[in-house]
Structure 1
Amino acid sequence: MSIPNEKAVEVAVSASASTSASEVDNTQGVNNVIENNADSPMNRNWTTKTSFWHWFHPDDGPAERRLVVKLDFSILAFACVGFWALYIDRSIYVNAYVSGMKEDLGFYGNQYVQINSIFLIGYAVSIIPLTLVNTRAPPQVVIPVCMAVWGLATSLGARAQSYGELAGYRFLVGLGEGAFFPSIHYIFGSWYRPDEIARRSGLFYVAGSIGTISTGFITARIYADLDGALGREAWRWMFLIGGIITFPIALFGVLTFPGTPQHPNKQLFKEDELVLARARLEAMGRRSTQKGSLGFTLSSLRRFVGRWHFWVLVPWSIAFQQGYLAMAQGTYTLWIKSIAASQHYSTAKVNSLTAVAPCVAIVAIVLFAWAADKFGAKARLPLFTVAQVIAFLGLAAFVAFDHTSFSYKWFGVAVSNVENAMVPVMYSWANLICTDDAEERAFILSAMLAFAMAFNSWVPILSMPTVQSPRYFKGYLVCLLMQPIALGLAFLVDYLHRREIAQKKEKRAQEVSQ
């Protein structure tokens, strides 16, 4: 579709002011793309409304659809199966704990939560540097190498003979896993338009829930079939099998992951496809990486922290993550374990019941992500409100532990992942907010997770000591209080983003009129 230059500029300006998901800013480079690609197959009307169920925009041409399909298969296939494996390797710890590891390694006091914190320290310190590496090095190499590290460390957990040895392995698992989540979101923002990104992020996040579900069923089967096999306890087989699963997925990523338009896997793309992909990004004002170092010099750091993005998005992520910290710490699994005797649950059934919350989360993730892409900015705050009200009600069942029914507590368990289901919308939104600067985008996405994980590494030690299982009054109360705080920060993000868009629109309109 060819649009005259003046009309195209008008579309670019109006797109940046839109209150839909396509409110991304069409900044520098728009005029060059329009002039050089007037007859290209690129859809420049992507800001218009589409059906809730459409996978493509109606104005996407055949070439653009082929590109998007290729991206979906190459990005989502590896991202989803990799995230599935990550959540298996991460979740296996609590399943192993309730399947005999606690007794075999002689855990006592708060050692359960302390190993979780050691894992999170490794996770937090690796997030920012490894994500920034992806702005300069081929992600199709960096991410699979990190996967191999965490897979190896997970497998080594099978040979642990002491608390200290297992703690070391879990630290290495955290180091390897740190780059995966923010790097994948950085890749999404490197290829997809604003009307495409939330659904892909949602499907990616579904894979994590499927990983948690799979962990419950896999560990239940391992406990039933392999406990004592070859002289190994079931929990050791859990670590060994979980780690082994990761290695072929890492190799799959080396072969099939597309990288970024700046560092593409050229075995997957023709040159005209890369030209089209770069033109799509330029037309949205999404800048590629700048020449120079790895993107973490003193001047670049000043650039990253010189905008409101860092000072609001990072605290928002911290508060948001503290809101579902109980779920992340496996406290609901420990509650299920605590009632196992009275409810006649076997160890295998306890493992299976851990699948309830992620099943509910999958439904929430899909609905939230599709609504965010379809209705854009006007849907974000209602979605955050719904998710956090549901989370608040679920947490109340455990805050008032001694005064709530067994059924209400199971409701709290079932919806414990619903707030977490908004993470794809949060990170897609951050991708769009930082669209002008690729290095800042990588830094902010990683900093949002890194600082939140840094808090997650010590807050549970104070609020969720293992000796208070399954009551955890302070921990559940902290999560409950974080719900209104995180929601208030979401409103602040919305206000600041709208103001920034209005300022850019005004500036651009002045430039066009000159």
Structure 2
Amino acid sequence: MSMSDKSTRVAFGPWGLVKEVFNWYPSNYPAHERRMLFKLDLSILVFACLCFFVKYLDQTNISNAYVSGLKEDFQLYGNQLNYCNTCYITAYVVFQVPGLLLMSRPKLARWLLPSLEILWGVCTFAQSRVTNIQQLYALRFLVGMFEAPVFAGTHFILGSWYSGPELFKRAGTWFICNALGTMVSGYLQAAAYTNLSGVGGMAGWRWLFIIDGIFTIPVAVLGFFIFPGVPDSPRTWILTEDDINLAKDRARRANIRRPEKMSVDVFKRSLRRWHIWVFIFIYACMIISSYPVSYMNLWLQAEGYSVAQVNKLPTVISAINIVASWLGTTLAAIYPAWALYTFSSACCLFSTLCMIIWDIPRALKFVAWYLFGTSGCLSPILYSTVNTIVKDDSEERALIMGSMMTFGYSFQIWVPLLLFPTAGADGAPRWRKGWPASFAFFFLLWAGFIAALLIHRW
């Protein structure tokens, strides 16, 4: 479905809207197509959601570990937390485009993510045994390298099997695992700090990485058995030949181009079109603007809240993020995406303005932190839009998604060191320079998305 094709949108009453939100297998689809969609959901979404969950569990673990004993154990009173994130992001950036281009190859697409999951799990276990910050820097780099193609690669896989409302609904449901991993990490760290500190001679923060690693290995094994890759990949046992033929026919009807031979021409034709430039700009704005959103725990710690409260209270942001991810993307398949993007952006701009002012009632500051959760729909709507607009070129679609992540996260290597330092008078969570910059980039994120829709329509 084209983002600008108003003829495909249907007017719903309140009850009709509720039914449409949960209507994943439309009754007007033939029975065999509904069965195939159900199989795809089992094989793609189950693995992708579990994979994404453990990834974001780890990404939040490092911050939660920092405020739950890591900082004191390793005497980290400078910008070491930022340096850990920089090591991770550097690897994430370097291996993004190569990973996505490999993902577009049918023979590799089925095996790449489960294989990387195994390697990622080993590094996750290893983080629980570090004895100094230098070892943690090295492991964060390896974690970023093995994780690089997971996010954009899953969006690429979804866009290879689904289109229109199907795509938006599944992208939003999958993205829930981002916030779910973040939320669960807070509760796990609180529980580990309370119940596992000293068990086996290890601090509570170390146990969180062990728990994450225990989750990871079964997910990887499951992926080898059920993850289908792209429609042209070797067939898994869960899909029949008829299912694959139907999937290819659906892709043909939706004008989703199948993978072709990889060559340097993909770079030439991509750079000649507007898509890559606009979407890279949008995603860079998203990354920079959202950086401080995940550090409510640092504010709570500065305010004197207990370790348990520091880990648990920020989970409300994740809960709101879950609702926004799921409901926002579902509604984007029914109503104009620009309207939902505008609503979410307005909430984030309001919250950022509160942080710029800073000296506001504590209750209002809690509201501001929690309103950041409405940003949950921004990323899945953006990536579903990319999948929809660039569906006519599989290789270009992979290159754009990889480039979005590469250039977006490349800013996160150095921008936090300038705008969001951990220590100092302008350090976390006050960020006198960071919050105004975040406000500006939230606005540019909204303006860039609107511009992309207008350019595509024209």
Q: What is the TM-score when the length of structure 2 is the normalising length? A: 0.94
Aligned counterparts of 2:364 and 2:432: Cα–Cα separation in 1: 16
1:439 and 2:403 equivalent?
no
CA distance 1:306–1:192, change in 2 (3 Å): same
CA distance 1:238–1:52, change in 2 (3 Å): closer
1:266 and 2:236 equivalent?
yes
CA deviation digits over 1:380-408, x for unaligned, max 9? Answer: 1111110011001111221111x211111
Equivalent position of 1:61 in the other structure: 30
Equivalent positions of 1:200-239 (< 5 A) are: 200-239=170-209
Tell me, yes or no, if the aligned pair for 1:146 and 1:179 is still in contact at 8 Å. no
Q: Between Structure 1 and Structure 2, whose CA radius of gyration is higher?
A: 1
Equivalent position of 1:392 in the other structure: 349
1:462 and 2:418 equivalent?
yes
CA deviation digits over 1:280-309, x for unaligned, max 9? Answer: 001111111102xxx3x4322112211100
Q: Note the residue ranges of structure 1 that are not aligned, 5 or more in a row.
A: 1-14, 24-49, 500-514
Residue 150 of structure 1 aligns with an amino acid whose one-letter code is W
Counterpart secondary structure, 2:334:
helix
Residue 260 of structure 1 aligns with an amino acid whose one-letter code is V
Residue 492 of structure 1 aligns with an amino acid whose one-letter code is A
CA deviation digits over 1:40-92, x for unaligned, max 9? Answer: xxxxxxxxxx9444223342110110111111111111111111111111110
1:411 and 2:367 equivalent?
yes
Aligned counterparts of 1:22 and 1:322: Cα–Cα separation in 2: 34
How far the C-alpha of 1:138 sits from its partner, in A, is: 3.1
Aligned counterparts of 1:319 and 1:114: Cα–Cα separation in 2: 21
Tell me, yes or no, if the aligned pair for 2:92 and 2:147 is still in contact at 8 Å. yes
1:339 and 2:278 equivalent?
no
Aligned counterparts of 1:372 and 1:211: Cα–Cα separation in 2: 24
How far the C-alpha of 1:153 sits from its partner, in A, is: 1.3
How far the C-alpha of 1:331 sits from its partner, in A, is: 2.3
How far the C-alpha of 1:17 sits from its partner, in A, is: 9.3
Equivalent position of 2:286 in the other structure: 320
CA deviation digits over 1:357-389, x for unaligned, max 9? Answer: 0001111112211111123xxx11111110011
Tell me, yes or no, if the aligned pair for 1:324 and 1:417 is still in contact at 8 Å. no
Equivalent position of 1:482 in the other structure: 441
How far the C-alpha of 1:21 sits from its partner, in A, is: 9.3
Aligned counterparts of 2:6 and 2:114: Cα–Cα separation in 1: 35
Aligned counterparts of 1:18 and 1:182: Cα–Cα separation in 2: 23
Equivalent position of 2:123 in the other structure: 153
CA-based RMSD of the aligned residues comes to 1.7
CA deviation digits over 1:453-506, x for unaligned, max 9? Answer: 11111110100111112211211111111122111111210111112xxxxxxx
CA deviation digits over 1:83-124, x for unaligned, max 9? Answer: 111111111000100011011112122111121111111111
Aligned counterparts of 2:68 and 2:80: Cα–Cα separation in 1: 16
How far the C-alpha of 1:183 sits from its partner, in A, is: 0.8
Aligned counterparts of 2:144 and 2:46: Cα–Cα separation in 1: 23
Residue 88 of structure 2 aligns with an amino acid whose one-letter code is F
1:172 to 121, 142, 154: 142
1:94 to 63, 67, 73: 63
Equivalent position of 1:37 in the other structure: none
Residue 340 of structure 2 aligns with an amino acid whose one-letter code is L
How far the C-alpha of 1:225 sits from its partner, in A, is: 0.8
Residue 133 of structure 1 aligns with an amino acid whose one-letter code is L
Residue 5 of structure 2 aligns with an amino acid whose one-letter code is T
Q: What is the TM-score when the length of structure 1 is the normalising length? A: 0.84
Residue 406 of structure 2 aligns with an amino acid whose one-letter code is A
How far the C-alpha of 1:18 sits from its partner, in A, is: 6.0
CA distance 1:246–1:16, change in 2 (3 Å): closer
Aligned counterparts of 1:269 and 1:80: Cα–Cα separation in 2: 19
Q: Note the residue ranges of structure 2 that are not aligned, 5 or more in a row.
A: 10-18
Equivalent position of 1:510 in the other structure: none
Equivalent position of 1:107 in the other structure: 76
CA deviation digits over 1:232-256, x for unaligned, max 9? Answer: 1111111222122111101111111
